[in-house]
Structure 1
């Protein structure tokens, strides 16, 4: 039987030129984390230290350890690296075993009978990228760094939310594998279900040390067993599972998983075992044309979905630090916000098994980008071969996971070619189209025909339409953040919104930890360093000024209002687009998470703290949602009752036209009736439509509420907010004496470890809310009041 020996201990890190002392190294890990552990560099996440460690990515580095000859009776021993970042030569006692140049692949070297000093010499990724650029010529990109010339996590070169920390190291596990006669080199599971029967087809490739040995494979799943012969180096075993239980996205059903075990046999002697969990479900991407354009609707087990999505970036700029527990915690946060789809963005990585395992268990659908983002990518060698090799490996690696529902060729590169002035400068040079419309769809069709592929995001399905045409396929809505007001989200109804977002700073405790001792201001040196977007603060301020009086010299107020504006912006988009289901079939918010403490579009900041946006997503992505919008004919208002639950939503809608002083001007109680998975509209009577800045509309049904203010906050004559605060079991209770708009408890101001169970809430006079708080060690109402913020009248 194959035997595995992890190689995690005894590694050191040194400069290959021999300068400096050798350091203890952690494997898996990277150079930055080893230098940080040794106290040789400052924490690049704090202050402006990022600039102080830029030299690390420009240096070459060597990892070394002793490799002892295997004391086993196995015929062969392989040295296996699950991930090397990125350009390296592997040597044993000075003899080269091979060279590598792709972070997204694994590598295997025959070291049978060998021992000695094992060295992995990493060249700077900059040097590799610049050499490739020198050979193949310039290609345009969104950023000046040369990330498109090397097969590496692009965002380690910096992004508009991330630091420039160009890593090197043995970033995934390394081990020795000892085996005899044969081993399974690849298992490709095709999992389908039809008429209640689950079908599993396991295509097996083997590597042999004995060519003539007769081999068989035996598989089991769900109590069913089957055998097949290996013909040369290939074999296929098929199983059928009667009455297979279906795997569903969260909110639609359960997530039953089946254990698959596959054993390679020589006679009756087991040589190798492969185990994975699978799930049975049907999957379709409906891109058919209709009266509105070209659709983009996911269909799972025959159920058409409005995808409630978030974009995922690497959760740490040093991905070797992301543990199984951290993946689980972050994805549980996503599920807790009502999310049912996570898009793994193309400037990052193919994530670890821990990520996809958690998605399988939580019922989170995974949209997987291939790692191409925001640049023209050369298609010549050596890159072309690397791209196909990494695609083949990772498609097969991720195939067992039922959560994986879509392969996507790239992020914004087809759009960039058409709209970002790339085409004239390229003058016919390759830029990646051959990957997205050739190599990648061919690999997916050959290896994983059970899942759909789309060439890019955004993409309209063909060059017959503009790549970012909202009427066709996927759409990225960035004009609003970059240039206009979030009210403009209501101007169109894209078929599927794969990216849109609005910035806000991280939680206060995160800012304080990242910028120790700094006198905080929106434009203080540390705040500006932790704002990577082009004119990011300018866009924040202009977006704020359209709705609020921008506070001058009051960081705390600016911090609160920009977080409110972020939540309001995302709400404006999601409420509008969800109310137009099934024309619009999904929203994927940019972004769920951050990789360091930064002002960004994230709902969860770089320290894992939840912004007000996170709690707003819980409302926006709930099965049932009330929203008020224009009727579509230019006159009047409509209350849209969005019912994504399976059951009928019938009841009474309470409508109130109110003054900001709390007077009810008029009210009505029309019937509400929305069938399962539908949207129902209730016209607001003309005499209840608020007029002018002193009035607003309240719509309530079954504990849900929608508010409509016809004027921006800066023009509304709010009363000075009055409320009472009292301690409650595990939290506080706030009772309003006036209208209190967007009340927020910033629990991390009470204690850096404190968390609140809700975000923004608007209270009418006489209403109360209890906010749960955990991690608060010394509770008292006066301290709680100091951490409460709400919208105040314009001075």
Structure 2
């Protein structure tokens, strides 16, 4: 947490640069202690932090991620906790006109005392809090104390007194029918989800500081792109200035790299002042998403001057236009993101918090995961509504890397209350976060909630209520997501589209031809081919589960627990059917498809491997279907990028940062040009899909070969691949094309060449893996070490499927893995070991090798 805290502190200082002697920020992150209420012993605490981390650091509880330790720490969320520290205020500070105590995050019900005087009763984790405290401070030593109430004690009366019981999913909240998570403005995933543990945290989870100033303060500058073209951008900056008294003759200036773009003189009134200035930038450098251009960022120096003071705030943003287009057409209603006038196919993932205990997430971890999204050719991440509004660094990194952000408001999978106090809390939460985030060019849209409407209409919830109760709840839903939230957003940002719910197919109109779609049919008996059959206008959720690799499993288990039905393994697979609470539900969802494609092995290591290549197969089928159907479909965001703890889940990167098989697949099928192959109505069709903004003159090479490398059919076609489009460029009767070749002994290779260079390649099999005639022990390798990076050369004498590489002990990253090797093809792969890791004993296994090996559980 030290690195992220250092980042946040520096961000705050940069924002307040040049405030001079009339302004001061005093960080209050040292000397904290905590205790359980009604006990006497105080322990050392970390701020920002969480009570669970503090208990772990003081050896009061064990790591809840190891084995089934999660069960043993449930008492923590049921208790009240108290934090305190002392701080010194100088005579100079105390002389300032204004002094406030600022908390950027309190989780969740918190009473704050300054020198034993109650100054704040916080009730929302998702916002910051500010208290004017000048009159309460004294020169010298002062105390601040924070009393955190258990959410159970605070919310149980709300639950018991509600006019009717509200529904939620998943049912991880106390494993009962009591859904307290709905009543508090706290991260939903803290109560457990179908991919994460139940850890009800509390604490001072974001920075806390004193702010002291005289005369006026530059509170914020909002910068928006009003009109954008290649020749000129019209930009508007609105300065928010808080003045302690009326002042005449103030002025502002906005500059970039020494060039002044706008000035204005004005008088300040006491309180809030909103001062706009509009200016033009000729030949602007636009902000583009990944793959379309440079995500250029402007850092503006925003200055306010008076007779006695000069304040400059640095504001970084990008110049771009963005729209979400929803248009009625012949089949329904489209959903397309348009950036700088270009309709862009969105390729990305749903993102959840990186850890249940936010203080454990470092700056390095943020940088790592954003880079993995970039390396997988993504251009969008969705910040999902059951987590948190992310840290500033997350959005900064998305800005820098050209990753658009679909930003949920923090509501997910539930029926939420709509009493006046709750609505007021939500209003302040939304205003706070939209104001905090609105200058980020990466943010593409605001989304009101995750699955709150579809759950009511499609999950059977509404049938549990009387007609009158249904009427009341529908009124509450509309009030919250169609009035309160969009109205709050509009007060802070009128430049982005508001999407009321995801999926949003039109109120009470569930259809894949309208808006965005969540497709979860594959949890049951529905085959993976459903991805080919059900393609929406924007696929904002779908996914498949897999186990993390054995190295990860070994970190949270004992040797005897490494099997799919151990108590530990069940505890780390939270995909349970709510009605039955069957712990084997997640395994069954995997095995239904595993049986179809691979068969279910007896040994656990092969089972883990097959779960990953199955996950990769499902992901490839889905994404290729979505991209083939461009422009009908204009976005695909799979579930999910990452994990918040070591788990069997839908993630493509495990908790320790290891790429699972599907992440390699995602990288390949998210390339700017791909060549999907599918048999449709007996016809072998090869599509070429291009995200480029220019046509491609190329050569399409289609080769049918036996597994031993014998070429049976080889065709070459000159093609003009249309820009930003998908089309069939090769079609043939499948049976005639095969010409009686044995389907279990052939593979189709498709290559697209541009200037004699392969720019995309795909392989297509005509039968499932368990029916293929594959040989074991066909892969050969050599390796050489160059300055710590290992270069591995692979070749195969016969077709090798899903070749998996691993070093027995070393941790690190392979540039490619779980790959198919064509006969007599040579492939180079690099392995970059983690610091302190020494690679030795390279293990290489193909699908056929796993099939033949008699591997014992380890």
Aligned to 1:210: 245
For 1:597 and 1:790, the matched residues in 2 are separated by 25
Aligned CA distance change for structure 1 residues 671 and 605 (closer, same or farther; 3 Å)? same
SS in 1 for 2:134: coil
1:120 paired to 2:146:
yes
For 2:592 and 2:380, the matched residues in 1 are separated by 31
Aligned to 1:673: 720
For 1:237 and 1:381, the matched residues in 2 are separated by 33
SS in 2 for 1:642: strand
Displacement after TM superposition at 1:775 (Å) = 1.4
Equivalences for residues 406-417 of structure 1 within 5 A:
406-417=445-456
For 2:530 and 2:184, the matched residues in 1 are separated by 38
Correspondence for 1:220 among 255, 273, 277: 255
1:718 paired to 2:774:
yes
For 1:487 and 1:793, the matched residues in 2 are separated by 25
SS in 2 for 1:177: strand
Aligned CA distance change for structure 1 residues 71 and 546 (closer, same or farther; 3 Å)? farther
Aligned CA distance change for structure 1 residues 194 and 717 (closer, same or farther; 3 Å)? closer
Q: What's the CA shift string for 1:197-219, capped at 9, x where partnerless?
A: 33333334443332466644443
For 2:405 and 2:563, the matched residues in 1 are separated by 38
Contact 2:685 2:732 in 1 (8 A): no
Contact 1:657 1:695 in 2 (8 A): yes
Equivalences for residues 193-272 of structure 1 within 5 A:
193-195=227-229, 196-211=231-246, 215-221=250-256, 223=259, 224-230=261-267, 232=269, 233-243=272-282, 244-267=284-307, 269-270=309-310, 272=311
For 1:31 and 1:518, the matched residues in 2 are separated by 32
SS in 2 for 1:564: helix
Correspondence for 1:490 among 519, 527, 532: 532
Correspondence for 2:749 among 698, 711, 715: 698
Moved more, 135-144 or 212-221: 212-221
For 1:84 and 1:573, the matched residues in 2 are separated by 40
Displacement after TM superposition at 1:491 (Å) = 0.8
Q: What's the CA shift string for 1:270-307, capped at 9, x where partnerless?
A: 2x443220110011111011123110000000111110
1:774 paired to 2:832:
yes
SS in 2 for 1:654: strand
Displacement after TM superposition at 1:156 (Å) = 0.8
For 2:703 and 2:846, the matched residues in 1 are separated by 26
Aligned length: 782
1:648 paired to 2:695:
yes
Displacement after TM superposition at 1:268 (Å) = 5.0
Aligned to 2:177: none
Aligned to 1:685: 732
Contact 1:576 1:629 in 2 (8 A): no
Moved more, 579-588 or 760-769: 760-769
Q: What's the CA shift string for 1:308-338, capped at 9, x where partnerless?
A: 0111101111112222222111101100100
Aligned to 2:60: 40
SS in 2 for 1:255: coil
Aligned to 1:167: 201
Aligned CA distance change for structure 1 residues 166 and 230 (closer, same or farther; 3 Å)? farther
Aligned to 1:451: 496
SS in 2 for 1:475: strand
Equivalences for residues 243-642 of structure 1 within 5 A:
243=282, 244-267=284-307, 269-270=309-310, 272-426=311-465, 427=469, 428-430=471-473, 431-463=476-508, 465-466=509-510, 469-534=511-576, 535-552=585-602, 554-631=603-680, 634-642=681-689
Correspondence for 1:7 among 19, 23, 28: 28
Contact 1:216 1:267 in 2 (8 A): no
1:129 paired to 2:189:
no
For 2:488 and 2:117, the matched residues in 1 are separated by 35
Displacement after TM superposition at 1:70 (Å) = 3.8
Displacement after TM superposition at 1:410 (Å) = 0.4
SS in 2 for 1:119: strand
Displacement after TM superposition at 1:706 (Å) = 2.0
Equivalences for residues 179-194 of structure 1 within 5 A:
179-194=213-228
Aligned to 2:104: 82
Aligned to 1:104: 126
For 1:29 and 1:717, the matched residues in 2 are separated by 56
Aligned CA distance change for structure 1 residues 709 and 87 (closer, same or farther; 3 Å)? same
1:153 paired to 2:187:
yes
Aligned to 2:580: none
Q: What's the CA shift string for 1:540-563, capped at 9, x where partnerless?
A: 1112111112101x1111111110
Correspondence for 1:738 among 788, 795, 798: 798
Aligned to 1:25: 45
Contact 1:714 1:794 in 2 (8 A): no
For 2:752 and 2:849, the matched residues in 1 are separated by 27
Aligned CA distance change for structure 1 residues 214 and 516 (closer, same or farther; 3 Å)? farther
SS in 1 for 2:529: helix
SS in 1 for 2:597: coil
Gaps of 5+ in 2: 1-21, 174-179, 577-584, 853-858
1:142 paired to 2:169:
yes
Contact 2:249 2:265 in 1 (8 A): no
For 1:721 and 1:644, the matched residues in 2 are separated by 39
For 2:832 and 2:747, the matched residues in 1 are separated by 34
Correspondence for 2:813 among 743, 752, 755: 755
Moved more, 222-231 or 328-337: 222-231
For 1:572 and 1:698, the matched residues in 2 are separated by 17
Aligned to 2:14: none
Aligned CA distance change for structure 1 residues 218 and 71 (closer, same or farther; 3 Å)? farther
Moved more, 199-208 or 363-372: 199-208
Gaps of 5+ in 1: none
SS in 2 for 1:641: strand
Contact 2:561 2:568 in 1 (8 A): no
Aligned CA distance change for structure 1 residues 778 and 345 (closer, same or farther; 3 Å)? closer
Aligned CA distance change for structure 1 residues 385 and 709 (closer, same or farther; 3 Å)? same
Displacement after TM superposition at 1:779 (Å) = 4.9
Moved more, 276-285 or 235-244: 235-244
Displacement after TM superposition at 1:787 (Å) = 4.4
Displacement after TM superposition at 1:654 (Å) = 2.1
Aligned to 2:15: none
Q: What's the CA shift string for 1:342-378, capped at 9, x where partnerless?
A: 1000001111110100000000001100000000111
For 1:605 and 1:307, the matched residues in 2 are separated by 23
SS in 2 for 1:615: helix
For 1:519 and 1:425, the matched residues in 2 are separated by 40
Q: What's the CA shift string for 1:543-595, capped at 9, x where partnerless?
A: 2111112101x111111111000011000000111011111101001011111
Contact 1:187 1:396 in 2 (8 A): no
TM-score, length basis structure 1 = 0.95
